């Protein structure tokens, strides 16, 4: 059985370090502030926003939770973003994804002040990541994956990392992050996706396999070489009449069979998920320190 990489445990270590940084900032009269904007009433998004707000308060951050109706227009949302851009008490802004259909999400991201884009998707921050400029903000889930590997003592430098999935949210940005020179980088990265040929052959060549394809239990034992490290970014609901709520949460990896071959693996839930929020808090504290 492989070693379990517990995201909750590592997230608590991150929070311990952040509390010290926040205390130092407060001594200088500065309190990091995060504004999370939710448009509509998506239950999953609402739960996620609540968890972010709770963590802000636990850490002693200034937290603004802006909940807007589902029929909010593009112009109305842009006006709220501009207000937050100009608010000196707010150092980080996150507009919860996905928004309703009438909202152009890309335009909203471009309207953010890059210095407050703690989700890391503004073109300026993506460019900084590609250029190796550490003043930018890296998207929270890729940053959380990297931190999991570092804190677990897994050697990234020189390793062959295969990332399954090419989205901006995880795959593309994580590839840039792990190729970057220095601590937590210097990896040889291959990105595969639904149209890749000989996919299982490529994934079996990985020292570190990161699954972010959004398909429940897609990665099977045949995709993993003996002793590989497996990071499961996916979280999917699958029907299960045997449990009271009628469904269970699974990752993109078939955990039971893959854990028999992997040297280390993240669980779902409790793996990458807690790290995403931890990195959002970390980016917010960093934004405050840079302003």
**Sheet architecture: strand order including 264-265:** 3-4, 264-265, 229-232, 208-211, 160-164, 188-192
SS3 117: strand
Is 128 assigned a catalytic role? no
Is 96 assigned a catalytic role? yes
Taking the alpha carbons at both ends of the chain, their separation in whole angstroms is 47
36, 65 contact by CB (below 8 A): yes
Dist. CA 151–CA 135, nearest whole Å: 22
Among 96, 116, 232, 286, the one annotated catalytic:
96
Residues contacting residue 79 through CB under 8 Å, at least 6 positions apart: none
Among 119, 207, 232, 252, the one annotated catalytic:
119
Is 116 assigned a catalytic role? no
Q: Which of 193, 262, 195 minimizes the C-alpha distance to 232?
A: 262
Q: Residue 139 has which token pair?
A: 């998207």
| Cβ neighbour number for residue 133 with a 10 Å cutoff | 12
Dist. CA 202–CA 211, nearest whole Å: 13
| Residue 260, phi then psi, degrees to nearest 5 | -75, -20
91, 117 contact by CB (below 8 A): no
Dist. CA 212–CA 232, nearest whole Å: 7
Which long-range contacts does 201-207 make (Cβ < 8 Å, 24+ apart)?
202/162, 203/162, 203/164, 205/160, 205/162, 206/160, 206/161, 206/162, 207/159, 207/160, 207/161
Residues marked as catalytic: 52, 96, 119
């Amino acid at each position: 059985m492989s070693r379990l990489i517990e995201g909750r445990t590592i997230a608590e270590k991150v929070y311990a370090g952040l509390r010290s940084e926040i205390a130092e900032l407060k001594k200088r009269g500065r309190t990091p502030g995060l504004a999370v904007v939710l448009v509509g009433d998506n239950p999953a998004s609402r739960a996620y926003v609540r968890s972010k707000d709770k963590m802000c308060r636990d850490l002693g951050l200034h937290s603004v939770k802006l909940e807007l109706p589902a029929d909010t227009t593009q112009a109305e949302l842009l006006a709220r973003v501009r207000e937050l851009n100009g608010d000196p008490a707010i150092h980080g802004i996150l507009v919860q994804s996905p928004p309703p259909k009438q909202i152009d999400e890309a335009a909203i991201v471009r309207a953010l002040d890059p210095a407050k884009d703690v989700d890391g998707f503004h073109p300026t921050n993506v460019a900084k990541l590609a250029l190796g400029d550490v003043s930018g903000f890296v998207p929270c889930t890729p940053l959380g994956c990297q931190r999991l590997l570092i804190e677990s003592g897994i050697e990234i430098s020189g390793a062959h990392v295969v990332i399954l999935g090419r989205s901006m949210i995880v795959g593309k940005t994580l590839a840039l992050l792990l190729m970057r020179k220095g601590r937590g980088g210097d990896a040889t990265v291959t990105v595969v996706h639904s149209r890749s040929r000989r996919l299982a052959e490529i994934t079996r060549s990985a020292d570190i396999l990161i699954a972010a394809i959004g398909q429940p239990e897609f990665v099977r034992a045949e995709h993993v070489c003996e002793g590989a490290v497996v990071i499961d970014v996916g979280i999917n609901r699958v029907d299960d009449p045997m449990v009271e709520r009628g469904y269970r949460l699974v990752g993109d990896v078939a955990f039971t069979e893959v854990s028999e071959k992997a040297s280390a693996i993240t669980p779902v839930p409790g793996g990458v998920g807690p790290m995403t929020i931890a990195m959002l808090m970390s980016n917010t504290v960093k934004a405050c320190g840079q302003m």
